[in-house]
Amino acid sequence: MRVLPVKNEETHDWLLRVHYAKRIPCVSYAFGLFDGQQLKGVVTYGSPPSRHLCEGIAGPKNGNIVLELNRLVFAEPIKNGPSLLVSHSLKLLPKPTIVVSFADSAQGHIGYVYQATNFLYTGLSAKRKDWKIKGMEGLHSRGVSALAKGQESAAEYLRQRFGDDFHAEDRPRKHRYIYICGDKKDRKRLLSQLLYPIEPYPKGDSNRYEIGYAPATQGQLF
């Protein structure tokens, strides 16, 4: 098994057809786990969706070195494959870098792959609400907001346009993990500047497969 950089376009089928989110996030770096010439899984890293998230981890002066591990996708379970892909891809990122990733509690995920690769656990994400429109459930909250681009009051415009079909829902809180890429000096400095307390790893169903994996009935790549 080898971990190698892959082109962004090589990840698109994985992100759209295999991962449950069914959309392509911002991708700055992408890596694949290869068994010979066969691509078995992909991991992608990109800029987090908000400046607030970047600066909230270790302050504004470190906001520009924050990347989000935003997709980890396998078409089928491979023993130790996810942790191998994550651990080796982290070594290939520019340094210093702060990597943040989230385990989706709405999917029943705890984040065992991050625990296996020595990420720091910093608790649950903040309570937030997402804008939703009935009949457009697949549209991300940012996409809903974009429908009101240029309007003085986005919420008021959307209420007038969609009526009761427009509403706000509680966003499921996610387990937040952080990893610091860099030499010993960088890690010590950035660790001292983290704004989140480090907490014990959460536990749950250790038999649950947590990667962005679609069962064969939903269509695999192989």
Which domain CATH number covers 54?
Answer: 3.40.630.30
Residues 132 and 122 in one domain: no
Same domain for 66 and 107, yes or no, is yes
Decide which of 108 and 36 is more confident.
36
Q: Strands, E, within 21-150: which ranges?
A: 29-35, 38-46, 66-74, 97-104, 120-124, 128-133
Does 151 share its domain with 191? Answer: no
The per-residue pLDDT for range 113-130, each reduced to its tens digit, is 999 999 999 999 876 777
Are 9 and 68 found together in one domain?
yes
193 shares a domain with 118: yes
H or E element in which residue 155 lies: helix 154-162
Q: Beta-strand (E) ranges in the chain?
A: 2-5, 29-35, 38-46, 66-74, 97-104, 120-124, 128-133, 166-171, 174-181
Check whether 96 has a pLDDT greater than 50: yes
**Residues 187, 148 within the same domain:** no
Q: What is the number of domains present in the chain?
A: 2
Same domain for 64 and 131, yes or no, is no
- Does residue 195 contact residue 58 with C-beta atoms inside 8 Å? yes
Structural tokens at position 8: 């962004």
Residues 74 and 144 in one domain: no
**Residue 221: predicted pLDDT:** 31
Query: How large is the average pLDDT for residues 30-46?
Result: 94
Q: Is the pLDDT of residue 211 over 80?
A: no
122 and 15 share a domain?
Answer: yes
**Same domain, residue pair 40 and 150:** no
Domain interval for residue 167:
127-172
Burial 4-24 (b: 16+ CB within 10 A, else e): eebeeeebeebbeebbebeeb
Whether 43 and 83 map to the same domain: the answer is yes
Question: What confidence tens digit (pLDDT) does each residue in 145-203 have?
Answer: 888 887 878 888 888 888 888 888 777 788 999 999 999 999 999 999 999 999 999 98
Higher pLDDT, 96 or 135: 96
Residue 105 one-letter amino acid: S
Q: Are residues 101 and 181 in the same domain?
A: yes
